Chain A
Amino acid sequence: MSKREDDFGAAAMMASRSVTASALKSALVTTNAKPAIAIVAKPAMPAAVSTISAKTPTAVVSALTTKSAAAQRAAALIQAEPPTKPKFDLSVATSPIAKEAGIAAAAHQAASTIPDASAQVNPQVPAGASLYEPPPQAQEEQAPAAPQESASAEPDWTPPDTSKALALVPPTAAMVPTAPTAVKESFWSKLLSLFGFGKKKAPTATVHGEGNNLQTMTASVVRRARNGDQNAMALIALIRDNAAKGHPRAVESFEHLKEYVRCNPVDGSNPRIGYEPDYVALTQAPGTRWAGDALGYGDPDYVALTQAPGTRWAGDSTYPDAVALSHGPKLTNPRIGEFLSRFAGEEQQAVAFGIKHRAHASERAKSPKIVRAIRMGKIVGQARGIQAVRERGSNIKAFDVNVGWELEGDE
Chain B
Amino acid sequence: MILLPLAIIALVGTAGVAQHSRSKKAADPRTLAERMVIFKTAIGADDPATAIKDPAKLRSLSKSFRDEGMIAEADMLEKRAALQERPTEVKEAHKEAFRQGMAATDPAKVHDLANAFETMGATGAANNLRKYASGLSEATVSEEINDEQA
A→B interface (CB under 8 Å): 37-39, 42, 44, 46-48, 50-51, 54-55, 309, 317, 319-324, 327, 386, 389-392, 396, 399-403, 405-410
Contact = CB atoms under 8 A, between A and B. Distances in A.
B69 to A, nearest CB: 27
Interface in B88-102: 91, 94-96, 98-99, 102
A299 B124 CA distance: 36
Contacts of A37: 139, 143
A51 B145 contact: yes
Interface residues of B, number: 38
Contacts of B83: 406, 409
Interface in B70-107: 80, 83-84, 86, 91, 94-96, 98-99, 102-103, 105
B146 A392 contact: no
Given A319-B135, A409-B91, A55 B128 contact: no
6 contacts: A42-B150, A317-B138, A319-B138, A322-B135, A324-B142, A408-B91
B40 to A, nearest CB: 12
B132 interface: yes
Q: Which 4 A-B pairs have the closest CB atoms?
A: A402-B48, A402-B124, A323-B135, A320-B138
Given A320-B138, A402-B124, A405-B51, A38 B146 contact: yes
A323 B98 contact: no
Nearest to A51: B145
A400 B48 contact: yes
Contacts of A392: 96, 99
Contact of B48 (A42, A309, A401): A401
Interface of B: 44, 48-49, 51, 53, 80, 83-84, 86, 91, 94-96, 98-99, 102-103, 105, 121-125, 128, 131-132, 134-136, 138-139, 142-143, 145-147, 149-150
Contacts of B95: 396, 407-408
Nearest to A42: B150
Given A396-B95, A406-B122, A54 B48 contact: no
A403 B149 contact: no
Contacts of A55: 142
B139 A320 contact: yes
B122 A38 contact: no
Contacts of B51: 401-402, 405
Interface residues of A, dominant DSSP = helix
Contact of A39 (B49, B94, B124, B146): B146
Contacts of B80: 406
Contacts of A54: 145
B139 to A, nearest CB: 4
A390 B102 contact: yes
A324 B146 contact: no
Contacts of A389: 98-99, 102
Contacts of A38: 143, 146-147
A399 B129 CA distance: 12
B45 to A, nearest CB: 9
A48 B147 CA distance: 10
Nearest to B85: A409
B124 A403 contact: yes
Nearest to A359: B48
A319 B139 CA distance: 9
Contacts of A319: 131, 134-135, 138
A321 B51 CA distance: 28
B125 A386 contact: no
Contacts of B123: 406
Contacts of B132: 323, 386
Given A39-B143, A390-B103, A402-B48, A323 B136 contact: yes
B89 to A, nearest CB: 13
Contacts of A42: 146, 150
A309 B142 contact: yes
A409 B84 contact: yes
Given A403-B125, A408-B91, A44 B139 contact: no
Contact of A403 (B96, B98, B121): B98
Contact of A320 (B44, B49, B122, B135): B135
Contacts of B103: 390
B65 to A, nearest CB: 19
Contacts of A324: 135, 139, 142-143
